[in-house]
Chains A and B, each alone.
Chain A
Amino acid sequence: MYYDICIIGAGIVGSLIARQLSKYKVKIAVIERHVDVSMDATGANSGIVHAGYDAKPGTKKAKFNVSGCNMMPGLCDNLSVKFKKTGSFVLAFDQEGEEVLQKLYDSGIKNGVTDMAIVDKDFILKREPYVNPLVTKALYAKNAGIVSPYKLNIAAMDNAVMNGVKFLRETEVTGIEKEDGLFHISTEITGDICSISKLDRIKEEDRTDITAKIVINCAGAHADEISRMAGDDSFNIIPRRGEYILFDKTEGSRINTVLFQTPTEKGKGILVTPTVDGNLMIGPDATVADHKDDKCTNSENLDYVFKTASQTYTRLNIRKSITVFAGIRATPDTSDFIIEESKKCGNFINVAGIESPGLTAAPAIAVYVEDMVKSLMEMKEKAKNQYTMKVKHDKPFSEMTNEEKEAACKSDELCRKIICRCETVSEREIVSAIYAPCGARTVDGVKRRTRAGMGRCQGGFCAPHVMRILSEHTGIAVNKIAKADADSCILGRHSRD
């Protein structure tokens, strides 16, 4: 199948680029090896919208961080994704720490960050009473915030698909050849969920014999491998792993601001943050991963995360933890984002090494790549009524007022069935998630879109119901319903088979 533009990778970067380009009259495909968007780095990170003071002035990281941070509230509004401008503190506990704050402040000024201040202990403790009282000063960045990275990712892809982008799931790129200015992309089908599902009408020819005029490499931790396929070995990705502990919402209600420790060479240090959905989260550490898909957690690392976070925040109760997870960071050996047309292969754009602050930077990167593509290929914008840059989501049942709940129940039978008790998720929300433009096909897919299974019982009660609903609507047998990819089926055979 021919596409004008092929985007490899459906993380936040690939998905926002796809959305950005979907307003033009071009044929676009996003190739994703997993069954869903947001399955790697985007699916497991801190979800912080950084103000932009920590990136080294003059770098791409600094530039895209600051502009991305400014774009984030508007983008989230357009995509009906929750964004909270919480502000952030970098906490200092001694003279040395205070000097670091000053340096951060200075580079913030150079990077164009506004609304920053170095604040004293009283200010900090008034806003965050459970910060370790030994704190002396903090860098307060008012524009920092929090967002759900996977929800933003999903909404971006929903929007892209609404505008005609083809989302090719369970399709892995295995080779790239360039011939007469045209890329030939060979692929392998990695799973059978979409081929079994009756909701996906991806034709075999859509994802085999792919040719494209422009390729955009957004393959995250694997971006160096994809780049090499196109003959460009100018960078390497060294995967790093960060581990997190997530706590019950009871804990999240006590914290309002993102709390950083002073950064070290390894990263921004262990943070303590509320999540947009009201939980409390701590992490990440930064360790070298065994391989690029190494998302295993380790007890020593989790202990380290907890111990270190406890130094900044005094109210951590390990008994209130509900899950732990690890995320992969696509750290480049070039120390900065790589966002450029390959010098070795024309029309091949690398968007690689997008480690922190990649989530914040992604909206700005998408616009930058849009301009790059425009310079490579003539693209006409669709008529205004042929695309939309907005996604409308129904309000989650749990966020409705009693009056809204009553009205919703009156008009909609599926609202009256609450499937997930911990997070109060109705059957309507789950069904909507399945039928969305980039719909859920797996238990984790439903979970990320609706929060069913994300609460304190972690799906103990709702998983059987979610699996039944998925099966009813996708036509996939219950014992073929997967957690994540096709190799993660939850159940075995029927007991009377």
Chain B
Amino acid sequence: MAAALQAYELGVKDIVILERDNSLGGILNQCIHNGFGLHVFKEELTGPEYALRFSEKIKETNITVMLDTMVIGAEKDKTLYAVNPEYGFMVIKAKAVILAMGCRERPRGALRIPGSNCAGVFTAGTAQRFVNIEGILPGKKVVILGSGDIGLIMARRMTLEGIKVMGVYEIMEYPGGLTRNIVQCLDDYDIPLHLSETVVKIHGKGRITGVTTAKVDSNMKPIKGTEQYVECDTLLLSVGLIPENELSEQMGVGMYQVTGGPFVDQDLETDTEGVFACGNVLHVHDLVDYVTMEGQRAAMSAKAYLDKTLTEKKSAQKIAVVAGNGLRYVLPQHIYLKDTEEKIKIFFRSRARFREVYVRASVGDNVLTRRKLLRLIPSEMESVDIKMRDLLNTGSETNGFGDLVIEVEQ
């Protein structure tokens, strides 16, 4: 919605939003807790409220909204195939496409948690939908595996519904979710958080009756002798999100293994011309506000693409942005050089937890910028700003340019 509105405001006339759900807003609609909008609106909103801010605005525009619409195929030339109850099978030809499909949850099978294949094992988001949209509770006694934000939010949500949350188990030595969620969702409700501990077996015949947990060593392998049986009738998984890029791949968009999202340049353009990506389909965010801003940036680029004023890429010098020491990934993954005064924001996530570190951006021996961070943790995305002018000064057309490395200073 943010991308559509931005494009509309920039004067794009013919915009369509294809949405598979029956209302706009995606997963925000089931996120009935607050904490959304602190950056964009400077106030605390619930998920549905945050979504409503945008959907109300969309109503005032002539943006076409197609709900209950499933895009079932896509091609490199930006032809989309979709079906919906109103129009049946549709072939949609677009000049520019903004990918904003979000992500899905990593299911049990992807973790290969052994044991019984019984009922009562949910991903946290699916359980959230059951509780908040359908109004049906998953069980009475729940164990949560993984300390991703949805799992933490659900620990509180279920406690409020009278469900006993036995504990949250996190295989890493630090939590996966935001600190504020650890405090507000676990600490405030005396829900134990077990770090470096995981579920090694699921028990039960028809329905889950318990799990075996175990502590893990530094290689995340279960330590023999630390097993404990925990009784429960529900297991919630909050063990990671996977960008939903099956359609992107059909459009020939190249994927970055680490983020699970497309490779993009500073314009959020993928390597398929005229196809842009933003939000959780690009990389998993921790705050919706950042998703919104990214959507707006993608729309600006798409508008420039339609106006043929987007960065000239065919002949431009392309430099790679690389995640160096301590970082898991950077975004964008490459920058096309051009002679402007613009600033480029490079987002990154760390591999581990750091306190009081400098994050440095450099090309060869040229340090372009250093940023001091009081703390840097994997669950919180950070960024540094680079000036295009500085980048241009690190090399020349004849001698070429080195990689732009973003790293934690040793």
Interface residues of A (CB under 8 A from B): 245-246, 293, 295-299, 301-302, 318-319, 321-326, 402, 405-406, 408-410, 413, 415-418, 421-422, 424, 456-461, 463-464, 478-479, 482-496
> B395 interface residue, CB < 8 Å from A?
no
> B137 interface residue, CB < 8 Å from A?
yes
The residues of B that contact A409 with a CB separation of less than 8 Å are 83, 88-89
Look across to chain A and name the residue whose beta carbon is closest to the beta carbon of B249: A250
- Cβ A325 vs Cβ B105 within 8 A: no
In the bound complex, CA of A366 to CA of B187 (Å):
62
The residues of A that contact B52 with a CB separation of less than 8 Å are none
- Cβ B107 vs Cβ A457 within 8 A: yes
- Cβ B119 vs Cβ A418 within 8 A: no
- Cβ A491 vs Cβ B137 within 8 A: yes
- Cβ B109 vs Cβ A323 within 8 A: yes
> B367 interface residue, CB < 8 Å from A?
no
Q: Which 3 interchain pairs have the tightest Cβ spacing?
A: A487-B206, A323-B109, A409-B88
The distance from the CB of A310 to the nearest CB of chain B, in whole angstroms, is 15
Given contacts A416-B85, A492-B136, contact A484 B107 (CB under 8 A): no
The residues of B that contact A458 with a CB separation of less than 8 Å are 107-110
The distance from the CB of A193 to the nearest CB of chain B, in whole angstroms, is 11
- Cβ A245 vs Cβ B112 within 8 A: yes
- Cβ A460 vs Cβ B107 within 8 A: yes
Interface residues of B (CB under 8 A from A): 20, 68, 70, 72-73, 81, 83-86, 88-89, 91, 104-105, 107-110, 112, 114-120, 123, 125-126, 129-131, 133-140, 161, 200-201, 205-207, 233, 242, 246
- Cβ A464 vs Cβ B70 within 8 A: no
- Cβ A487 vs Cβ B89 within 8 A: no
**Which of B118, B207, B242: most chain A Cβ within 10 A?**
B207
In the bound complex, CA of A14 to CA of B149 (Å):
48
- Cβ A487 vs Cβ B126 within 8 A: no
Q: List 14 A-B contacts (CB under 8 A).
A: A297-B112, A298-B114, A421-B70, A422-B246, A424-B72, A458-B110, A459-B126, A464-B129, A483-B206, A488-B120, A489-B207, A491-B136, A492-B139, A495-B161
The distance from the CB of B318 to the nearest CB of chain A, in whole angstroms, is 27
In the bound complex, CA of A484 to CA of B117 (Å):
10
Across the interface, A418 reaches (CB within 8 A) one of B70, B112, B123, B136, namely B70
- Cβ A406 vs Cβ B88 within 8 A: yes
- Cβ B89 vs Cβ A495 within 8 A: no
Given contacts A321-B109, A321-B110, A416-B83, contact A463 B126 (CB under 8 A): yes
The distance from the CB of A239 to the nearest CB of chain B, in whole angstroms, is 15
- Cβ B112 vs Cβ A321 within 8 A: yes
- Cβ B105 vs Cβ A410 within 8 A: no
The distance from the CB of B372 to the nearest CB of chain A, in whole angstroms, is 35
- Cβ A488 vs Cβ B126 within 8 A: no
- Cβ A489 vs Cβ B114 within 8 A: no
The residues of A that contact B137 with a CB separation of less than 8 Å are 491-495
Across the interface, B206 reaches (CB within 8 A) one of A245, A323, A415, A486, namely A486
- Cβ B85 vs Cβ A483 within 8 A: no
- Cβ A405 vs Cβ B136 within 8 A: no
Across the interface, B136 reaches (CB within 8 A) one of A246, A484, A493, namely A493
The residues of A that contact B206 with a CB separation of less than 8 Å are 482-489
The residues of B that contact A302 with a CB separation of less than 8 Å are 112, 114
In the bound complex, CA of A321 to CA of B109 (Å):
7
Known: A293-B205, A298-B114, A409-B88. 4 other contacts (CB 8 A): A245-B112, A325-B117, A405-B83, A416-B85
The distance from the CB of B105 to the nearest CB of chain A, in whole angstroms, is 5
**Which of A301, A417, A464, A490: most chain B Cβ within 10 A?**
A490
The distance from the CB of A250 to the nearest CB of chain B, in whole angstroms, is 8
- Cβ B115 vs Cβ A297 within 8 A: yes
- Cβ B134 vs Cβ A490 within 8 A: no
In the bound complex, CA of A478 to CA of B133 (Å):
13
In the bound complex, CA of A489 to CA of B138 (Å):
10
The residues of B that contact A408 with a CB separation of less than 8 Å are 89
Across the interface, B81 reaches (CB within 8 A) one of A293, A301, A402, namely A402
- Cβ A478 vs Cβ B134 within 8 A: yes
The residues of A that contact B112 with a CB separation of less than 8 Å are 245, 297, 299, 302, 318, 321, 324
Across the interface, A299 reaches (CB within 8 A) one of B114, B116, B126, B134, namely B114
- Cβ B135 vs Cβ A457 within 8 A: no
- Cβ A406 vs Cβ B72 within 8 A: no
The residues of A that contact B105 with a CB separation of less than 8 Å are 457, 460
Look across to chain B and name the residue whose beta carbon is closest to the beta carbon of A486: B206
In the bound complex, CA of A489 to CA of B137 (Å):
12
The distance from the CB of A323 to the nearest CB of chain B, in whole angstroms, is 3
Look across to chain B and name the residue whose beta carbon is closest to the beta carbon of A404: B89
In the bound complex, CA of A415 to CA of B207 (Å):
33
The residues of B that contact A245 with a CB separation of less than 8 Å are 112
- Cβ B81 vs Cβ A299 within 8 A: no
In the bound complex, CA of A458 to CA of B107 (Å):
6
In the bound complex, CA of A464 to CA of B117 (Å):
19
**Which of A245, A324, A413: most chain B Cβ within 10 A?**
A324
In the bound complex, CA of A415 to CA of B88 (Å):
8
The residues of B that contact A299 with a CB separation of less than 8 Å are 112, 114, 200
The residues of B that contact A406 with a CB separation of less than 8 Å are 88-89
The residues of A that contact B114 with a CB separation of less than 8 Å are 296-299, 301-302, 324
The residues of B that contact A496 with a CB separation of less than 8 Å are 135
- Cβ B109 vs Cβ A487 within 8 A: no
The distance from the CB of A107 to the nearest CB of chain B, in whole angstroms, is 36
The residues of B that contact A297 with a CB separation of less than 8 Å are 112, 114-115, 117
Across the interface, B119 reaches (CB within 8 A) one of A298, A489, A494, namely A489
- Cβ B109 vs Cβ A322 within 8 A: yes
The residues of A that contact B136 with a CB separation of less than 8 Å are 478-479, 491-495
The distance from the CB of A251 to the nearest CB of chain B, in whole angstroms, is 13
- Cβ A494 vs Cβ B139 within 8 A: no
Look across to chain B and name the residue whose beta carbon is closest to the beta carbon of A457: B104
- Cβ A295 vs Cβ B20 within 8 A: no
Look across to chain B and name the residue whose beta carbon is closest to the beta carbon of A477: B136
- Cβ A460 vs Cβ B126 within 8 A: yes
In the bound complex, CA of A407 to CA of B235 (Å):
43
In the bound complex, CA of A276 to CA of B161 (Å):
44
In the bound complex, CA of A325 to CA of B108 (Å):
11
The distance from the CB of A272 to the nearest CB of chain B, in whole angstroms, is 17
